[in-house]
Copies of this chain bind each other. A is one copy, B any other.
Amino acid sequence: MPSVVYFYHMISVVILGAGNVGSQLCQALDAAEDCEVIQLYNRTEVSNSQLPDHIEFTTKINEIKQADVYLLAIADDAIAGFSEHLPFKDSLLAHTSGTVPLHAIDNKNRRAVFYPLQTFSQNRSIDFNKVPIGIEAESEADLSLLKSLASSLSEKVMELNSNDRSRLHLAAVFVNNFSNHLYHIAAEYLEENSLEFDLLTPLILETADKISSISPEDAQTGPARRGDLETIKKHLALLNDGPKKELYKVLTESIQNTYGKKL
């Protein structure tokens, strides 16, 4: 297989899993130079109009083609079992998870990781160019192949061991999952009060954009940061709902403690 890579300068890829990550990798790699998505496998039929028509699709594990790299984009807890049941061996098989260790992959294949640090949702196309891709493999040759593949998508490719990947993923949970939950809390609260959530859109975008030029530590503003107990009291009175009030308290205390002022 390495000779094929050398001859064509073209990395052949099969994508296993057509969920959000698999579908978007499929589109992005299909559009990239230096690699070719030759097949997309999914357990069940998929109806995703954004998937390129010309890419062969299969639901049959025995029909999976030979490729330079297999990208495994399935649920975390399915990685070990699925990799065990694959009908081929000695191939380069990279999962795309933030938390699953490389060693979870069955060792009949060459185990690796290809982790794009981004959130993927249906109907949102990601520009991979700025997306950091963390790669991990068991040999220099595999690492080099994955590096070429990742570089065809992104300008930010890095070696990342399983421990550091877990840590990055944990930090990602804070900025992505938890922030989004705060958006949701705000949306609910505004809806309860017949106010439009859309009014917050420019603020949300500026909050996110700001940290490209100011550290989040310096960017911190608001009643908790400036020790404005009057406003905090007013806000707590507005929040008659238990869970929202609890979150407000915990986050306010955390900010106050961070900046050295106690409530």
Contact = CB atoms under 8 A, between A and B. Distances in A.
Contacts of A254: 181, 185, 243, 246-247
Contacts of A173: 222-223, 235, 248
Contact of A228 (B77, B171, B186): B77
A247 B257 contact: no
Interface in A216-240: 216-217, 219-225, 228, 230-231, 234-235, 238-239
A123 B218 CA distance: 12
Interface in A143-173: 156, 164, 166-168, 170-173
Given A131-B202, A199-B132, A177 B247 contact: no
Contacts of A88: none
A133 to B, nearest CB: 10
A120 B164 CA distance: 34
Contacts of A117: 199-200, 202-203
Copies of this subunit:
2
Contacts of A77: 228, 230
Given A166-B234, A167-B190, A167-B238, A201 B211 contact: yes
A77 to B, nearest CB: 7
Nearest to A178: B251
Contacts of A181: 216, 220, 224, 251, 254-255, 258
B166 A175 contact: no
Interface centre among A99, A167, A183 (most CB of B within 10 A): A183
Nearest to A170: B235
Nearest to A220: B180
A118 B176 contact: no
Nearest 6 CB-CB pairings of A with B:
A177-B222, A208-B208, A183-B216, A184-B216, A171-B186, A174-B186
Interface of A: 76-77, 99, 117-119, 121, 123-124, 126, 130-132, 156, 164, 166-168, 170-187, 189-190, 193, 195, 197, 199-217, 219-225, 228, 230-231, 234-235, 238-239, 243, 246-248, 250-251, 254-255, 257-258
